Amino acid sequence: MNIGVLALQGDFAEHLVMLRHLGVETREVRLPSHLDGLHGLIIPGGESTTIGKLAVTYDLIRPLRTFAQEHAIWGTCAGAIFIAKEVYRDQPLLKLMNISIQRNAFGRQVNSFVHELLVPALEQPERPFRAVFIRAPIIENIGQNVSVIAELSNGNNSIIVSARENRFFATSFHPELTKDDRFHRYFLEMVEEG
């Protein structure tokens, strides 16, 4: 299996380390030709406006949309923003996944935090996942065919922080910044399912 990581900006290196640790072939994607032969793609955290602008500069928007017609794509944090259909701001988006996202929903960098999430879809669901939130977005609304994968409870409210729509997957936090590889394994299963 060969998994690409969009390597325009952000913490792509941490995803590559995690994937190699899981015994998967990897490739940094910077140009349209780098998508050839890949089985899935991860779009890392970073700064979604920058990732979007660089994707425009490198003529990647159309090739990424074409790739998405047949392959699994996972966006973490800024990557989740980049694959969303609606983010209430004018910035280049792939508009793949039927979710609307509020950027920087928890405030600024200093308001970053770690939260233990219980995620039923993961292996060993009773073991909490230590999720790292850095200037994180939240998933405000989900469309038809989108299922909630993880929620953060906040008093009486639940905030959606991970969702899946068929072969598209979004997490508003950074599984690549922990040693826990369960989200990466979950994505590799999605890729295998085709």
The residues of the shown chain that bind ligand GLN, judged by CB under 6 A, are: 45-48, 77-78, 81, 103-104, 134-135
**Which residue carries 């640790």 as its tokens?**
21
Residue among 14, 77, 165, 184 flagged as catalytic: 77
The smaller minimum CB distance to ligand GLN, of residues 36 and 56, is found at 56
Distance CA 11, CA 14 (A): 6
Distance CA 8, CA 76 (A): 14
Residue among 15, 71, 174, 184 flagged as catalytic: 174
CB of 23 to ligand GLN, least distance (A): 26
CB of 45 to ligand GLN, least distance (A): 3
CB of 33 to ligand GLN, least distance (A): 26
The smaller minimum CB distance to ligand GLN, of residues 2 and 112, is found at 112
- Check if 176 is active-site: yes
CB of 43 to ligand GLN, least distance (A): 10
- Check if 174 is active-site: yes
Distance CA 177, CA 188 (A): 17
Q: Distance from first CA to last CA of the chain, Å, rounded?
A: 12
Distance CA 1, CA 46 (A): 25
| The three-state (H, E, C) secondary structure of 116-175, written as one string | EECCCCCCCCCCCEEEEECCCCEEEEECCCCEEEEEEEECCEEEEEEEEECCEEEECCCH
The smaller minimum CB distance to ligand GLN, of residues 9 and 98, is found at 9
The smaller minimum CB distance to ligand GLN, of residues 57 and 104, is found at 104
Tokens of 128: 């909490």
Residues acting as catalytic residues: 77, 174, 176
